[in-house]
A = this chain, B = another copy of it.
């Protein structure tokens, strides 16, 4: 510890971004910017200088970038993260004697005051700096100092020199930063690859992939399905668990308490005689077949994502080999999963309060590493909110040490602060409440929270209109237009989104019973056969929407999202852009799947770089139609039975006579 230094007069406070006082890193993808702000102040009237310091983890050398005063003692600077892994950042600030001198000199000159002593002070400051500076620059400073003291140099020339940019720049570079203060925290930004920021997911039950009905699908069948998925434009193919399924207490069709003969059970009841979390369900194929599928997918720019569901069927090898990892009840039975009065007798949770928690943690980590060895780099984590937060923080950081490219998607549908905690501690992406946000007010409130508050620093939303567990009432009752509406919303509100198919593109909408969000004849409990060639499939629309996403960088990140007024409460209007406004997308969706709605929408022209007096072209990318708009308010009419949404690409410049060859 250094001696306290009573002359360190600068305060650095309220540094942003930071989460819980730097307890957790913020998140960025490669190439994204970190804009750092802080309150920086000192007593008195002296002028301050401040620099943002940042470095890649492992590299002791800080890079500096000067900070600028914004307003109200708030300073700001940015840096771009270029590599996977972690960067550290902090701030240094000091009272800048030369800057203070220069500012005071200018004021006194303007007020016509005597400056002779000030020039001597300036000479002293420059002479001191020259002592710290070698070579030509040091010599130049010595000459400047001399000319300040020289009686032969006119005062006007001295003033001109003292106020010159050249002197200011050199003195800043060679400032001795007296009593500089460094912000005590080193803040961290965790940098992921592009797909953490922009990804398009497709969830599929491999066992339902057989081309003919009645047969258990295989990895080989999945291979044949790959072109269909790639053509639609998906880049992540996520499978529910692919491991052996338990027999004891196996659930039957539609979650029946007892399985019928031949019922395959739910893939989340992991583990049987054939193995546990590192084994492959024999009917799907071999581990080698799986690896082959992963590679085939890669050729089509698709990554295979696996499910991490850390729980056991009663037949999992752990039950015998690691009884100490399970929770035993006083009657000698193992505790099954329950959330009273709900019971899941086919599933045993692991006991994270076991004395042997360390060996349990190591085993679970080895499962992740095992699948990384098979070529998997994306994991969707099942119900992470039922395992300790500190376990996930450890697991994710352990895995990322050697594999910083791994992506973890948190499948938690629980209270908001629990979902945010999982994101803070390291999950790369997170499921959201999107499925249940249907009205304009709900969508506006929720996505403003996700994209315009501190939440965006750590929580990357991944939007799913449906999952095997979630067939929303909106989809149940809204027909095909509801599916289109929810697809366009997911794909344009979120840079990361996914669908559970083929249920989604085939508009599967029958619930198990009224009031339930479970699918009738859910794939969770039986093998389904899907006619993916059906004429009414949304396949082509999905293909088009995903192409629009790929071609428009505005849709590949979330922070620029802004909602705009629309006359009708059933119309939602919002825009996104890349940082530089060179790509601007405006989306208008009719949220009512039953009726046509029309009205005026209002764009904030100056925010979008549009001139109020010049017309601009909006190119509707779903229909390829083009419209000339002018001013902030323009008219939109959407019939959900034709197409309930517009995705406009805004072209800022419209040609006029001035561009006609012979105009000039």
- 1/0 per residue, CB under 8 A from B, across A323-335: the answer is 0000001110100
Q: Please, how many angstroms separate the alpha-carbon atoms of A21 and B187 in the complex?
A: 14
When distances are taken between beta carbons in the complex, the residues of chain B under 8 Å from A9 are 352-353, 388-390
Name which residue of chain B comes closest to A358, CB basis: B6
Instruction: Kindly provide the distance from the CB of A543 to the nearest chain B CB, expressed in whole angstroms.
Output: 40
A289 within 8 A of B: no
A43-B331 contact in complex given A7-B353, A107-B341, A353-B7, C-beta closer than 8 Å: no
From 92 to 129 in chain A, residues with beta carbon under 8 angstroms from any chain B beta carbon are 103-104, 107-108, 110-111, 113, 116-117, 120-121, 123-124
Contact of A331 among B117, B179, B352, B389 (CB under 8 A): B117
Contact of A13 among B8, B20, B107, B338 (CB under 8 A): B20
A152 within 8 A of B: no
When distances are taken between beta carbons in the complex, the residues of chain B under 8 Å from A394 are 6
A330-B417 contact in complex given A108-B341, A353-B179, A389-B11, C-beta closer than 8 Å: no
A117-B41 contact in complex given A20-B13, A111-B341, A353-B7, C-beta closer than 8 Å: no
**Shortest 10 CB-CB distances between A and B: which pairs?**
A111-B341, A120-B330, A107-B340, A21-B21, A73-B417, A9-B388, A104-B340, A6-B357, A44-B386, A7-B353
Q: Please, how many angstroms separate the alpha-carbon atoms of A113 and B340 in the complex?
A: 9
Contact of A417 among B39, B385, B415 (CB under 8 A): B39
- 1/0 per residue, CB under 8 A from B, across A124-157: the answer is 1000000000000000000000000000000000
Contact of A121 among B108, B178, B329, B353 (CB under 8 A): B329
When distances are taken between beta carbons in the complex, the residues of chain B under 8 Å from A120 are 329-331
A6-B418 contact in complex given A107-B341, A120-B331, C-beta closer than 8 Å: no
Q: Please, how many angstroms separate the alpha-carbon atoms of A314 and B300 in the complex?
A: 83
Verify A117–B330 contact, CB threshold 8 A.
yes
A160 within 8 A of B: no
A366 within 8 A of B: no
From 1 to 36 in chain A, residues with beta carbon under 8 angstroms from any chain B beta carbon are 4, 6-9, 11, 13-14, 20-21
- 1/0 per residue, CB under 8 A from B, across A247-259: the answer is 0000000000000
Q: Please, how many angstroms separate the alpha-carbon atoms of A611 and B414 in the complex?
A: 40
Q: Please, how many angstroms separate the alpha-carbon atoms of A228 and B280 in the complex?
A: 94
When distances are taken between beta carbons in the complex, the residues of chain B under 8 Å from A370 are none
Name which residue of chain B comes closest to A353, CB basis: B7
When distances are taken between beta carbons in the complex, the residues of chain B under 8 Å from A341 are 107-108, 110-111, 113
Q: Please, how many angstroms separate the alpha-carbon atoms of A121 and B111 in the complex?
A: 86
Instruction: Kindly provide the distance from the CB of A39 to the nearest chain B CB, expressed in whole angstroms.
Output: 5
Number of copies: 2
**Can you sample 20 A-B contacts with CB below 8 Å?**
A6-B352, A6-B361, A6-B390, A7-B353, A11-B389, A39-B417, A41-B417, A41-B421, A43-B352, A43-B386, A43-B418, A44-B387, A45-B386, A73-B418, A104-B338, A107-B341, A111-B341, A113-B343, A123-B330, A179-B353
A contact face: mostly helix, strand, loop, or mixed? mixed
A580 within 8 A of B: no
Residues of chain A touching chain B, judged by Cβ–Cβ distance below 8 Å, are 4, 6-9, 11, 13-14, 20-21, 39, 41-45, 72-73, 103-104, 107-108, 110-111, 113, 116-117, 120-121, 123-124, 178-179, 329-331, 333, 338-341, 343, 352-353, 357-358, 361, 385-391, 394, 415-418, 421
18 more contacts with CB within 8 A, not counting A43-B352, A43-B418, A111-B340, are A6-B352, A6-B358, A7-B353, A7-B388, A9-B353, A9-B388, A9-B389, A11-B421, A13-B421, A43-B387, A43-B389, A72-B417, A108-B340, A113-B341, A113-B343, A117-B329, A124-B330, A178-B353
Instruction: Kindly provide the distance from the CB of A602 to the nearest chain B CB, expressed in whole angstroms.
Output: 27
When distances are taken between beta carbons in the complex, the residues of chain B under 8 Å from A4 are 390
When distances are taken between beta carbons in the complex, the residues of chain B under 8 Å from A8 are 390
When distances are taken between beta carbons in the complex, the residues of chain B under 8 Å from A385 are 43-44
Q: Please, how many angstroms separate the alpha-carbon atoms of A416 and B179 in the complex?
A: 24
A6-B388 contact in complex given A179-B353, A340-B111, A417-B73, C-beta closer than 8 Å: yes
Q: Please, how many angstroms separate the alpha-carbon atoms of A418 and B4 in the complex?
A: 22
When distances are taken between beta carbons in the complex, the residues of chain B under 8 Å from A357 are 6-7
For A4, A340, A343, A386, which residue has the most chain B Cβ atoms within 10 angstroms?
A340
When distances are taken between beta carbons in the complex, the residues of chain B under 8 Å from A352 are 6-7, 9, 43
Name which residue of chain B comes closest to A149, CB basis: B330
Name which residue of chain B comes closest to A24, CB basis: B13
Q: Please, how many angstroms separate the alpha-carbon atoms of A11 and B116 in the complex?
A: 63
Q: Please, how many angstroms separate the alpha-carbon atoms of A192 and B72 in the complex?
A: 30
Q: Please, how many angstroms separate the alpha-carbon atoms of A394 and B418 in the complex?
A: 41
Q: Please, how many angstroms separate the alpha-carbon atoms of A664 and B321 in the complex?
A: 82
When distances are taken between beta carbons in the complex, the residues of chain B under 8 Å from A113 are 340-341, 343
Name which residue of chain B comes closest to A23, CB basis: B13
Q: Please, how many angstroms separate the alpha-carbon atoms of A394 and B8 in the complex?
A: 13
Instruction: Kindly provide the distance from the CB of A11 to the nearest chain B CB, expressed in whole angstroms.
Output: 6
Q: Please, how many angstroms separate the alpha-carbon atoms of A338 and B338 in the complex?
A: 74
Verify A41–B415 contact, CB threshold 8 A.
yes
For A6, A41, A108, A113, which residue has the most chain B Cβ atoms within 10 angstroms?
A6
Instruction: Kindly provide the distance from the CB of A98 to the nearest chain B CB, expressed in whole angstroms.
Output: 15
A333-B117 contact in complex given A6-B358, A340-B108, C-beta closer than 8 Å: yes
Name which residue of chain B comes closest to A340, CB basis: B107
Instruction: Kindly provide the distance from the CB of A335 to the nearest chain B CB, expressed in whole angstroms.
Output: 9
Verify B117–A45 contact, CB threshold 8 A.
no
When distances are taken between beta carbons in the complex, the residues of chain B under 8 Å from A418 are 41, 43, 73
Instruction: Kindly provide the distance from the CB of A474 to the nearest chain B CB, expressed in whole angstroms.
Output: 25
When distances are taken between beta carbons in the complex, the residues of chain B under 8 Å from A41 are 415, 417-418, 421
A388-B330 contact in complex given A7-B352, A7-B353, A72-B416, C-beta closer than 8 Å: no
When distances are taken between beta carbons in the complex, the residues of chain B under 8 Å from A123 are 330
When distances are taken between beta carbons in the complex, the residues of chain B under 8 Å from A416 are 72
When distances are taken between beta carbons in the complex, the residues of chain B under 8 Å from A179 are 353
When distances are taken between beta carbons in the complex, the residues of chain B under 8 Å from A73 are 415, 417-418
Q: Please, how many angstroms separate the alpha-carbon atoms of A410 and B347 in the complex?
A: 65
Q: Please, how many angstroms separate the alpha-carbon atoms of A657 and B418 in the complex?
A: 57
